[in-house]
Structure 1
Amino acid sequence: MTLLSATDITVRDGAARLVAPVSLELHPGEPLVILGETGSGKSLLAQAIMGTLPASLRATGTVRIGGCTLLAEDRAAFRGLWGRQIAVLPQEPWLSLDPLMRAGPQVAEAHRLVAGLPAAAARNRAAEELAALGLDTAAARYPHELSGGMAQRVAIAAARAGGASLVIADEPTKGLDAARRDDVAALLLAALTRSGGLLVITHDLALARRIGGRLMVLRDGAVVETGATSAVLSAPQAAYTRDLIAADPESWSRRVAPSEAGQAVLEARNLTLSRGGQRLVDGLTLELRAGRILGITGPSGCGKSSLGDALLGLLTPERGHITRARGLAPTAFQKLWQDPVAAFPRTRRLGQTLRDVARLHAAPPERIGGLLERLRLDSALLSRRPAAVSGGELQRLALLRAMLANPRFIFADEPTSRLDPITQREVIGLLADLARTDGLAIALVSHDPVLIDRVCDETCSLPMKRGEHDTLECSDLLRTAIG
């Protein structure tokens, strides 16, 4: 029995072919993982199979789901399958959640309208599923009050509510720490029964190993290698697959710290932060100097992004003081958002946005072209809107936009959570080069302790707050009071 059969799926943007003819099959109880570089066409292939491609793109080929055979170009024909036969876990959870509804009612609504449960039973089921995902306190929050990882888990609970036999998960663990990543993987695998199927799109090698099943490696819209996941990852045949595996942070050399620290760009003393009535940071003292990189780690929802907002002047501390170097404009302090899709105007073309930013900061127009080349971005992307660009490409465009402001401090909030290992290594390398050559002070947030160990000069670990007596764990250097 075949749950899903896709034959000769092709995606085009006008005359440009983005996905070559790709065929695949998904069988009950056997997950399929699609792995590849950022912009390789993984998400476009899945969107063509689901009938959810952006209007500017065209798909051809046939898709067979259960007893239905559909033409990939007939998007309207897929709508009756959404939620009931196909459950979609989106790459951008904030775009799939209603900004005006709290998390609990959103999941309950899916159980009521899609699964047909009575209202009381739907509320109970929603509460159980959110608790199982570690979201007991999130049910009463709006999407904008959730961290990226928390929003992703809420989206997972809502998508699975209809009981669809086929689950398509597009980067389901983006932005999650290792423990939460394993929790989500376990949740997805638990949905696999003799009549269930799972298709996972990811650049996360650890997630691919955890899911197992079969693996398809994609590059430039074409399949370069297929086989059992364990066999491909342990003995890859294609050179590209070997490069992808070798780019894991475990294989990186440790960055050599500068022999002398530059002047202080930003200082925080006895910093205490709260958000949503919860104490996140208590009594933190730290210093960020030119040319140095501070690594910030901690589980999802512990306050890493809130700390960044405070350092950038976007969140007022409950107690303590933040001092920025004299003579620097507010725009010298920039942030790379964890979810850049929420930071770009949805209806404007990316090139127009970047040109406006360049004019605002008096950056020469040719600087955009130079940064495009350094970040391995095709200039054709500038003619598109954010929805027509992959998550990884959009994150690199967000980095480009921040660099146009000639920053002196960058708070990089999970800047590579959307990127495959090869692109991650390049982007992190670029940030490290900027610290060294331009004297930038950088705070780098990551769930990957190995990445932090390889790249950062100092580290700060934020634990999940569970009571008033919890403390912040930082390196000895950061424990030392300033001045």
Structure 2
Amino acid sequence: MTLLQADDVAVFDASGRALVHPVSLRLDAGAPLVVLGETGSGKSLLAQALMGTLPPELWARGRVRIAEAEHDAAQPQGFRRLWGRAVAVLPQEPWLSLDPLMRARAQVAEAHALVRGLAPVAARRAAAADLAALGLGDEAGRRYPHELSGGMAQRVAFAAARAGGARIVVADEPTKGLDAARRDEVARLLTRALETGGGLLAITHDLALAQLLGGRLIVMREGAVVESGPLAEIFAAPQADYTQKLLDADPARWPRRARRAAGPSVVEGRRLTVSRGGRALVEGLDLTLRAGEIVGVSGPSGCGKSSLGDALLGLHAPACGAVRRIEGVARTAFQKLYQDPVSAFPRRRALGATLADVARRFGRRRAEVEALLARLDLAPALLARRPEQVSGGELQRLALLRVMLAEPRFLFADEPTSRLDPITQRGVIDLIATLAEEGCSVLLVSHDAALLDRTADWRMALGGHGTAEAAGRAAPAVALGAAG
């Protein structure tokens, strides 16, 4: 049974320039459809056109058939009655979809009440059960979105979107920022609906997620379909050169980064204990970060990776112990690359204006900004847009550009490639490695074990009974608290 059929759906900007060239596809009950491609390939724009959620400066053309009714993609208001009931949309940026003034459980309960029509008590119970199934207990349910890790916020957004019981799920990068265990869990949740005749359209650049989901595959590049067919067959023998390039960019296939001699200490933590909400996440840590080295940190969502980096930066006071930073260096030389860049940019201001302020602050010329744009493969036209008008991958690269303008001596890179496709991810990691080669000390957080193995000089794992692992020099002594 066909749940969704699209015929020649295309997306255009205000000038009439095609951003997505005509695409036809079919979503059948019980069979996932995966759309794969690099950042800016048009994957999310295609999904938005299918749901009638394109931003007002863009418009679509084509026909979409959902729930036995045909809709004109050029008339997005006709899709509104389907939202939450026939189609559930899992957004790319969870913090843009969550109400910052509502606690997590209340947001999920509201969806149960307004979309499914449950009574308040039943809605709260259903919300608690949904969050528990995603590994979020009562404590997480009482938190506001800004108090959640990126992975936690992603799971809350997932629960809220699914609360209405829609038969079709459109998942736009649903596992960004999640560790492998949580990614596999979300994949199982997404496919569970297929067992009862539901449909899944997954937009992703995550090769591992695509393989977990299986089904049919569409590969996109620059707004056009370059290859389509059964996912297993394409992964085994891709016909398009671009598809092969995408598969080859998997971190597991990278060469291991050459180790270099580390320089003097830039940041030190001594007997460091870091807590959140009264719970110790990291206890008694001795840690030295040296110029020119990359230290990798892994661990499940909420285990304290971001809190540790914030403590080293001075953004979060440690519960015990001390942090020492190199003397004679401006505080602005200690920089953070946020896991969710949307939270780090003013939402109502053009990106170019924000970057121009940073460039003036550090005495950087416009030509230097333009050179960094080219180095990061970013179009200058993006500077005229606001944060919500660019893709997550583009925004993450713009965040890296902003950090590079400050010429950091220490960079806390908190999941810096969680929003990037494999090809762009490799380029960004190469740039971060270049910063290290120029003398910057880097603390790199990632859920991708292969990426850390190929990139970091040494690594440590946080969470539960995690241990510190080292490559290149002895590991520090670490005692770790339970995951938050």
Matching residue of 1:443: 443
CA-CA distance at 1:48 after TM superposition: 0.9
* CA distance, structure 1, for counterparts of residue 194 and residue 380 of structure 2: 41
The residue type paired with residue 327 of structure 1 is G
* Alpha-carbon distance in structure 2 between the residues aligned to 1:270 and 1:411: 20
Give the letter aligned to residue 345 of structure 2: F
Task: Measure, in 2, the Cα distance between the counterparts of 1:238 and 1:244.
Answer: 10
The structural deviation recorded for 1:356 is 1.2
**Which position in structure 1 is the counterpart of 2:91?**
90
Superposed CA deviations along residues 238-287 of structure 1, whole A, max 9, x for unmatched, are: 100000001101111111111x2111111111110111122111011111
Kept in 1: contact 2:468–2:475 (CA 8 A) = no
Give the one of 157, 163, 168 matched to 2:165: 163
Please point out which of 172, 180, 183 is paired with 2:182: 180
- Spell out, residue by residue over 1:394-419, the C-alpha distance to the aligned partner (whole angstroms, 9 max, x if none): 10000001111111111100000011
Paired amino acid for 1:425: R
| Aligned residue pair count | 474
In the alignment, the residues of structure 1 paired with residue 304 and residue 17 of structure 2 have an alpha-carbon distance, to the nearest angstrom, of: 43
- What residue in structure 1 maps to residue 322 of structure 2? 321
Give the match for residue 338 of structure 2: 337
Per-residue deviation at 1:95? 1.1
Bigger drift between 100-109 and 396-405 goes to 100-109
Deviation readout 1:345-390 (Å, 9 max, x if unpaired): 1111111111111011111111111101111111111121111111
CA apart distance, 1:473: 3.6
> Counterparts of 1:472 and 1:195 in 2: how far apart (Å)?
43
Query: Counterpart in 2 of 1:109?
Result: 110
Q: Which among 191, 194, 198 is matched to residue 193 of structure 2?
A: 191
The answer for the alignment partner of 1:152 in structure 2 is 154
Could you tell me which amino acid in structure 1 is paired with residue 100 of structure 2?
A: P
Does residue 477 of structure 1 match 2:458? no
User: Does 2:51 align with 1:50?
Assistant: yes
Indicate the larger mover: 226-235 or 10-19.
10-19
Q: Which amino acid in structure 1 is aligned with residue 8 of structure 2?
A: D
Conserved in 2, the CA contact under 8 Å of 1:269 and 1:322? yes
Q: Distance in 2 between matches of 1:72 and 1:388?
A: 20
Q: Distance in 2 between matches of 1:380 and 1:6?
A: 30
Determine if contact 2:297/2:305 at 8 Å carries over to the other structure.
yes
1:467 is matched with none
Counting only pairs closer than 5 Å after superposition, residues 218-297 of structure 1 correspond to structure 2 as: 218-258=220-260, 260-297=261-298
Change (3 A) 1:480 1:89: closer
Shift of 1:12: 1.5
Structure 2 SS opposite 1:6 = strand
Shift of 1:474: 4.8
The answer as to whether partners of 1:33 and 1:199 remain within 8 angstroms in 2 is yes
On the 8 A contact 1:282/1:472 being kept in 2, the answer is: no
Q: Secondary structure at the match of 1:255?
A: coil
After superposing on structure 2, the runs of 4+ consecutive aligned residues of structure 1 that deviate more than 6 Å are none
Q: CA deviation at 1:73?
A: 2.0
CA contact (8 A) 1:31 1:198 kept: yes
SS where residue 192 of structure 1 aligns?
A: helix
* Structure 2 residue aligned with 1:36: 37
Query: What displacement does 1:344 show?
Result: 1.1
Map 1:406-445 → 2, pairs under 5 A: 406-436=407-437, 438-445=438-445
Residue identity matched to 2:455: V
Q: Distance in 1 between matches of 2:300 and 2:466?
A: 14
Taking the aligned partners of 2:148 and 2:85, their CA distance within structure 1 comes to 27
Q: Distance in 1 between matches of 2:475 and 2:16?
A: 55
Residue-by-residue CA offset, 1:304-349 (whole Å, 9 max, x unaligned): 1111111111000111111111111111011111110111111111
Distance 2:435 2:460 in 1: 21
- Structure 2: 5+ residue stretches without partners: 479-484
Deviation at 1:67, TM superposition (A): 2.0
Tell me, in whole angstroms, the C-alpha distance in 1 between the residues paired with 2:102 and 2:279: 21
Q: Which runs of no fewer than 5 residues in structure 1 stay unpaired?
A: 465-469
How many angstroms apart in 1 are the aligned matches of 2:475 and 2:61? 56
| Residues 1:454 and 2:454 are matched in the alignment | yes
TM-score, normalization by structure 1: 0.96
- Specify the SS of the correspondent of 1:477: coil
Q: Deviations over 1:223-246 (max 9, x none)?
A: 000011111111111100000001
Q: What's the RMSD between the two structures over aligned residues? A: 1.3
| Contact 2:130–2:159 under 8 Å retained in 1 | yes
Deviations 1:12-69 (A, max 9, x none): 1223321111111111111100000111010011011111111111211121111222
Whole-angstrom distance in 2 between the partners of 1:336 and 1:8? 39
Q: Distance in 2 between matches of 1:20 and 1:471?
A: 48
Aligned to 1:12: 12
Does structure 2 conserve the Cα–Cα contact (< 8 Å) formed by 1:281 and 1:472?
no
Distance 2:158 2:477 in 1: 42
Structure 1 distance, partners of 2:360, 2:62, is 44
SS at structure 1 position matched to 2:127: helix
Deviations 1:96-146 (A, max 9, x none): 111111111111111111111222222221111111111013111111111
Q: TM-score, normalised by structure 2?
A: 0.96
Is the contact made by 1:7 and 1:62 (CA closer than 8 Å) also made in structure 2? yes
Q: What is the rounded CA distance, in whole Å, between the counterparts of 2:475 and 2:409 in structure 1?
A: 20
1:2–1:66 CA contact under 8 A, matched in 2: no
Q: Tell me which amino acid in the other structure corresponds to 2:393.
A: G
In the other structure, the counterpart of 2:481 is none
* Matches of 1:286 and 1:163, distance apart in 2: 48
Q: Would the aligned equivalents of 2:468 and 2:477 in 1 still touch at CA under 8 Å?
A: no
Once residues 479 and 304 of structure 1 are traced to their aligned partners in structure 2, the CA distance between those partners, rounded to angstroms, is 16
- Aligned letter for 2:97? S
Q: Which residue of 2 aligns with 1:463?
A: 463
1:184 deviates by 0.2
CA contact (8 A) 1:98 1:106 kept: yes
Contact preservation (8 Å) 1:217, 1:225: yes
8 Å Cα contact 1:6/1:63 also seen in 2: yes
